[in-house]
A and B are shown apart, each in its own frame.
Chain A
């Protein structure tokens, strides 16, 4: 092949490539110019996002319990930002330079033309500096944003929960594209459950910009702008005064209290202690404080109302009675002999005393273990599981705050899985009869179950929100929660309730809380654990016409009668008296003993 041929071949290749490029340019610039012109026009429109104020929360007596306060948020528009100013801005905002760079690097595509929120809750001095040095700090700006403001009377941290800047993972997994980097989203408690109502809808303003990015007037005279819609307010069943009172009682204690109206499932107060200060999460969170919270050995972030897995002890005995009545193993009048101890499979199961042959009501009053050991054996694991599940055990109640766990209700499958088929005996069920063993419950399950007994089988889902009010249309939404009727004969409930009445008003373990003001009914429980026992009490009042049901758990606080019962009684009396009676004197001494 001669040199000339080779030269011509190379010329040909060069020409061919040039022709391909030119044809493509004709296609883009001459044939499709209009389409791309429109696209570039769109890019010359700046979209200003207006974040709405988050919805407020109101208490039972219509006081604002979660409010907003206006704050300044510093923003940076990555595309306008002069990258030589990183050090200056880092110093100004107190954010390490690396972190600042990383924040801006994360912003992709056309989002780089929108202001990105860099630091929330910035003081006025900093804002004044930014405003004065507008020219020097090109692309650095601020917005007014509302952050949460909480009552100083109570914390209710596990109820309200908090909002946090949306994570990259949440952004990637969201359905639709509502959330953008830097947006706040509810991650715990009511803030999470009612996020869709509380957040509102963002508004958008469209502004034309010239080639220098200067705003030159709104698009279409603002007719295309979308107004923001403020978040809906939510009205809670939580009683502000009762919450404050209960938190005071639980101060420096480790445990949980939840009280609800058994007639409709409305939660009146809920405390999980130790708790934390929600103000930590409003505005920028100090990583040191956060990690201290996370690693605290008392686990303040752990919701003891909805996430525990403790055995309920003797507060379980009503459940056993109901299961026995339902299965036909006992009747309201049949008796079981309780000689003071029970031997099964070569092992002796203890009791508090010898009671002779007693019926279910008496067995509850004196908390006779032997009665329930024997009953459990007769009942068998399948019936045990079947009837307990009817009262909500082993599954989440559906309370409208996040992070609820189902506890653990043992079944044949459970034991087969843990110990292997044929590797366990009926003897395992003996301890389950008195609320020990593998059984695990949460206080919210316990209060729902107590309510169902008080209401003769009406099981309501514990919840906080009574109504949601759209801030724009004032339209009211009443959320509904599941209610089930457990269809047992009235006399079964009467027998159980009578037992609970006698626990307080007869010769039972909680006679210390008997008083002349309100007839209380309930059951104490002492859950054996490593270390000091957990103290339980479940109950309701008034006995004749229940208006409040309660569950109190004291972690490692001793017997049920020691800690849980007086505290529960104090809360119930306080509520029923319209928040006027304080059952404890200043030294924390129970005054019930003198009332009697």
Chain B
């Protein structure tokens, strides 16, 4: 029995099931019509059960098999992403769903999982610790991520596409890429943001970047090129913003100040802040949140489900769910650290990044910290594809824990 617990990550499983349970409660309330549980709830409940079974199966699969089949899963995902562009169901302008027997299947949710697996498989298929220092390998690794991103952008679903960019840095970092290059890769995004906020921020950011890179004492010519590229990005951002149509500018401005567009893109954020803010410390109680129950927030069972938690369970409930996520992400990182199998380790880091990114963006947008990007709250938001995909990730992390002392 002790041997079982040594190899079975019971903490991770319990944390995950807790979060899924919170999700079921939240979906129940968010879709409550006053009489009985909605079909959303019963479907999610059914698939929560199924996903636990799948999770256990994945836990016990041989790591070698997982690594070997990664490419096939990845290929299948790409195929589905192509097919969905042709045969997908168009919902509010996006083609991201297959309708199968009344259920919606979203290939992009599974692509998150399979892309990380394929990337991990590629980065671990030989003993070379510094594989990414080779330009060819670096390009292949980027290509593995880029292919699903391009297909998802065609749907177009920018939010999900963005998710794929979130794990590049952590995975490369874990796989041994030097911090110098990490900074070089991240810098354009930060510079673009700084340039958007104003010239002063842009100049400060450029100065800091130059100074930081110089400290690494790499070849100065390379550093100079990186800084020059960033200066270009900065000016390009300003130029691009000026070129946008007024309605597009308005939409961007609404991210920073929702009151500029209270009935359009700012509406959700205003209402979700009201929902969460009015929850107070203890919340209004299960099924007692007026914002939630009067359905003031669109998509409150998917992307905006955190509103229900914030309103009906208050700060206490919100804090506990964030705490549960923190423990879950810590466990994923720690499993990567403990695991001697590089494939499983890199997978865990990728999954941890995805959870963290979803957490930050999803909760961040409901409380007005982040722009409204339509991605789910992992294990909580309604959606059987994302639930299943996230549970398989947990399964692989448990597999890593189980096989942490085995190298191959």
Contact = CB atoms under 8 A, between A and B. Distances in A.
Interface of A: 1, 3-4, 6-7, 9-11, 13-15, 17-18, 20-22, 24-26, 28-30, 32-33, 35-37, 39-41, 43-44, 79, 108-111, 113, 209, 211-213
B275 A14 contact: no
A40 B274 contact: yes
Contacts of A109: 262-264, 267
Given A10-B173, A10-B349, A41-B290, 9 more contacts: A6-B173, A10-B174, A22-B319, A24-B369, A28-B273, A29-B281, A43-B290, A108-B264, A113-B296
A25 B276 contact: yes
27 contacts: A3-B337, A4-B337, A6-B173, A7-B333, A10-B174, A10-B352, A14-B326, A20-B360, A22-B319, A24-B364, A25-B310, A25-B315, A25-B319, A25-B322, A28-B367, A29-B277, A29-B281, A30-B281, A33-B281, A35-B277, A39-B278, A40-B291, A40-B311, A43-B291, A108-B264, A109-B264, A213-B294
A37 B280 contact: yes
Interface in B163-195: 170, 173-174, 179
B108 to A, nearest CB: 23
Interface residues of B, number: 54
A44 B318 CA distance: 23
Contacts of A110: 263, 267, 296
Interface string B297-341: 000000000000011001100110011011001100110110000
Contacts of A10: 170, 173-174, 333, 349, 352
A491 to B, nearest CB: 64
A29 B173 contact: no
Given A10-B333, A14-B326, A211-B287, A37 B278 contact: yes
A33 B278 contact: yes
Contacts of A32: 277
Contacts of A37: 277-278, 280
Nearest to B360: A17
Interface string B52-96: 000000000000000000000000000000000000000000000
Given A43-B294, A109-B267, A29 B276 contact: yes
Given A6-B173, A25-B367, A33 B280 contact: yes
Interface of B: 34, 170, 173-174, 179, 262-264, 267, 271, 273-281, 287-291, 293-296, 310-311, 314-315, 318-319, 322-323, 325-326, 329-330, 333-334, 336-337, 349, 352, 356, 359-360, 363-364, 367-369
A48 to B, nearest CB: 15
B337 A7 contact: yes
A36 B289 CA distance: 13
A33 B283 CA distance: 10
A30 B315 CA distance: 8
Contact of A43 (B264, B274, B318): B274
B291 A20 contact: no
A21 B274 contact: no
B198 to A, nearest CB: 22
A65 B276 CA distance: 56
A29 B264 contact: no
B44 to A, nearest CB: 19
B277 A36 contact: yes
B67 to A, nearest CB: 20
Given A25-B319, A109-B262, A13 B356 contact: yes
A40 B314 CA distance: 14
Contact of B277 (A28, A44, A209, A212): A28
A79 B33 CA distance: 12
Contacts of A13: 356
A36 B262 CA distance: 16
A21 B365 CA distance: 10
A37 to B, nearest CB: 4
Given A14-B326, A28-B276, A109-B263, A40 B290 contact: yes
B377 to A, nearest CB: 12
A232 B267 CA distance: 37
Nearest to B279: A29
Contacts of B279: 29, 33
A11 B356 contact: no
Given A79-B295, A109-B267, A211-B290, A25 B280 contact: no
Contacts of A9: 173
B324 to A, nearest CB: 11
Nearest to B369: A24
Contacts of B275: 40
What are the 4 tightest A-B residue pairs by CB atom distance, in nearest-first order? A36-B277, A109-B263, A211-B293, A40-B278
Contacts of B271: 43
Contacts of B278: 33, 36-37, 39-41
A507 B279 CA distance: 94
Given A21-B322, A30-B281, A40-B278, A6 B290 contact: no
A7 B334 contact: yes
Contacts of A15: 326
B344 to A, nearest CB: 14
A579 to B, nearest CB: 55
B170 A30 contact: no
A14 B290 contact: no
Nearest to B367: A24
A39 B310 CA distance: 15
Given A14-B356, A24-B369, A33-B280, A108 B337 contact: no
Contacts of B368: 24
Given A11-B330, A109-B262, A21 B360 contact: yes
A28 B306 CA distance: 14
Given A25-B315, A43-B296, A1 B326 contact: no
B128 to A, nearest CB: 16
Contacts of A36: 273-274, 276-278
A113 B263 CA distance: 13
A24 to B, nearest CB: 5
B278 to A, nearest CB: 4
Contact of B330 (A3, A14, A44): A14
Given A39-B274, A43-B294, A18 B281 contact: no
A1 B179 contact: yes
A29 B330 contact: no
Given A39-B274, A109-B263, A25 B293 contact: no
Contact of A21 (B295, B352, B364): B364
A20 B364 CA distance: 9
Contacts of A211: 287-290, 293-294
Nearest to B359: A17
A327 B124 CA distance: 103
Contacts of B34: 212
A3 B333 CA distance: 11
A198 to B, nearest CB: 28
Nearest to A46: B294
A111 B298 CA distance: 13
Contacts of B280: 29-30, 33, 37
Nearest to A43: B296
A110 B267 CA distance: 8
A18 B322 contact: yes
Contacts of B359: 17, 21
A14 B336 CA distance: 15
A3 B288 CA distance: 48
A561 B328 CA distance: 98
Given A28-B273, A40-B275, A40-B290, A11 B367 contact: no
A39 B356 CA distance: 31
Contacts of B281: 29-30, 33
Nearest to A20: B369
Contacts of A113: 294, 296
Name the residue in B267, B326, B330 with the highest tally of chain A Cβ atoms < 10 Å from its Cβ: B326
A216 to B, nearest CB: 12
Nearest to A29: B315
A33 B277 contact: yes
Contacts of A29: 276-277, 279-281, 310, 314-315, 318
